[in-house]
Amino acid sequence: MPTEPLSRGRIVAAAIELIEREGADAVSMRRIAAELGVGVMSLYNHVPNKDALLNGVAEAVLSEIEFTDDPDAHWTDRVRMQARAFRQIAHDHPRSTMLVVSRQLHSTAGLLPVERALATLRSAGFDGADAVRMLRMFIAYIVGSLLREVGVTPTFAPVHNRLVKAESVDPALFPEVSSLAPLLDQCDHEAEFEFGLELLIQAISVHTGRREGTR
Amino acid sequence: MPTEPLSRGRIVAAAIELIEREGADAVSMRRIAAELGVGVMSLYNHVPNKDALLNGVAEAVLSEIEFTDDPDAHWTDRVRMQARAFRQIAHDHPRSTMLVVSRQLHSTAGLLPVERALATLRSAGFDGADAVRMLRMFIAYIVGSLLREVGVTPTFAPVHNRLVKAESVDPALFPEVSSLAPLLDQCDHEAEFEFGLELLIQAISVHTGRREGTR
DNA sequence: AGGCTTGCACGTACGCCGTACGTGCGTCAA
DNA sequence: TTGACGCACGTACGGCGTACGTGCAAGCCT
């Protein structure tokens, strides 16, 4: 059986598959090689080092997201769509999300979402400085939301049990946390995401509205 | 010279000092032991394992932040103050920030900021569900902002070569990124943080205003 | 055809890592 | 005095990233 030749693409794919199956901590060069049925050092013929490999993973995940941008739609809808497209990462590759978010890429895959967002904001009437500001604000919110969703951040609600168990919190010290424990323990990630997204979009709509109307 | 006896506190302090001096990647049990002039295994008399030690680091950093809360101030000011207090982490312990943010603690240090924030939001007139929603939104924004501020990569480069170098971006592929490169390359973190913070506060002020006035 | 370069898979080895386990010493209670 | 205990420490094991060398097959030049 002439196994398909090793390649950067196959290595990256194996890494992604491994991360999603066993978590980011399980990733090692030896593990990936074993997964592919090759020797460890063979990987280095296609990837300079582990760091570059992880960049490749981030890039691959990022380039999978589908931006269906309708240039004729209202700019607020375009922003909504782009934000949701980005959030898809948390669904499609939850355990790789941290990697994607914590590596800034200056490659095409990394720049494309930025380019689209800036274009949309400029089309909404923001000047360059404002567009950059808005973009940074959205990125901060989205990144923070994704990290909560995939469980990196103080999330108050992994799907099950126990971040804040009502009985484990002293009501005298933390009355609010204690009484709101049922609410803190559950989280509809999509609803939470949409809530903040709407809030931000409405807030910045007012800014353009002051100057030139909603469109 | 009777060196001060080893203790969990001294170990955690050494870890923090090491992280800030050489970055989170430099942290290893051997390195910390060397820093303290003790054998590696001595650490395990005071800390069960590395993970718990890192939790201790996060906890220590978190408990250093100063919440100067004035219960008589307008709730919007109290929210502002709490958000800024949290951002201080990025100033005081930039290279530990990722650690603090990526470990959820159910200890006092971790719950205190949550308790305060919830109390403030409730005092603003939000019901429990809304308070939790607002809190999650603020946390997402703040976490995202801090991660941008500290550079999200292990190596904390000063202020240079941040996102994009103008000459390395193809203007045909990325017209907006290219033309806005000067703006993307620099970032006044405090101003950016305040901008989004104001936007969020104003946005949620409207929500309470609809029901019961600004106060 | 014969020789040479090149590309790639692979094994070995080094210096790190976290930590399980055992040992020895100082102190303090009985 | 003796026993237990707390704590510093050494050794050792399995796993990590990767530098380096080796060998083999395919393609290129005369």
Q: Is residue B5 classed exposed, middle or buried when 0-12, 13-18 and 19+ CB atoms within 10 A define those classes?
A: exposed
Residues present in chain B in total = 215
Nucleotide minimizing C1' to CA distance for residue B44: C19
pLDDT band for position B207 (cuts 50, 70, 90): confident
> What residues of chain A lie within 8 A of the CB of B112, using their CB?
174
Protein CA A2 to sugar C1' D25 (Å) = 14
Q: Is the CB of B6 under 7 A from strand C?
A: no
- The position carrying tokens 């620099």 is B186
> What residues of chain B lie within 8 A of the CB of A98, using their CB?
102
> What residues of chain B lie within 8 A of the CB of A79, using their CB?
none
3-state secondary structure chain B: CCCCCCCHHHHHHHHHHHHHHHCHHHCCHHHHHHHHCCCHHHHHHCCCCHHHHHHHHHHHHHHHCCCCCCCCCCHHHHHHHHHHHHHHHHHHCHHHHHHHHHCCCCCHHHHHHHHHHHHHHHHCCCCHHHHHHHHHHHHHHHHHHHHHHCCCCCCCCCCCCCCCCHHHCCCCCCHHHHHCHHHHHCCCHHHHHHHHHHHHHHHHHHHHHHHHCCC
Distance from CA of B38 to the nearest CA of A (A): 29
Q: Closest partner residue to A183 among B105, B132, B184, by Cβ?
A: B132
Specify whether the CB–CB gap between B120 and B82 falls below 8 A.
yes
A87 pLDDT exceeds 50?
A: yes
Q: Closest partner residue to B115 among A163, A176, A204, by Cβ?
A: A176
Q: What is the mean pLDDT of residues A61-80?
A: 93
φ/ψ region of A100 (left if φ > 0, alpha if ψ in -120 to 50, else beta) reads: alpha
Q: Which of A63, A58, A48, A59 is nearest to A24 (CA)?
A: A58
Using a CB–CB cutoff of 8 Å, tell me whether A52 touches chain B: no
pLDDT band for position A165 (cuts 50, 70, 90): low
Q: What is the pLDDT of residues B129-178, one digit of tens each?
A: 999 999 999 999 999 999 999 876 433 333 444 445 556 778 888 999 99
Protein CA A9 to sugar C1' D30 (Å) = 38
pTM comes to 0.92
Backbone angles phi, psi at B186, to 5 degrees: -120, 155
Cα B207–chain centre separation: 27
Q: Closest partner residue to A118 among B140, B173, B177, by Cβ?
A: B177
Neighbours of A118 (CB within 10 A): 24
Q: What is the pLDDT of residues B64-117, one digit of tens each?
A: 998 888 889 999 999 999 999 999 999 999 999 999 999 988 888 899 999 999
Distance CA B47, CA A6 (A): 44
**Is B153 within 8 Å of A104 when comparing Cβ atoms?**
yes
Specify whether the CB–CB gap between B185 and B176 falls below 8 A.
no
- The position carrying tokens 């689209």 is A116
Distance CA B174, CA B92 (A): 37
Specify whether the CB–CB gap between B27 and B53 falls below 8 A.
no
For chain B, give the percent of residues with pLDDT over 70. Answer: 87
Q: Is the CB of A202 under 7 A from strand C?
A: no
Instruction: Tell me the pLDDT of chain B averaged across its residues.
Output: 88
Using a CB–CB cutoff of 8 Å, tell me whether A95 touches chain B: no
> What residues of chain B lie within 8 A of the CB of A195, using their CB?
133, 137
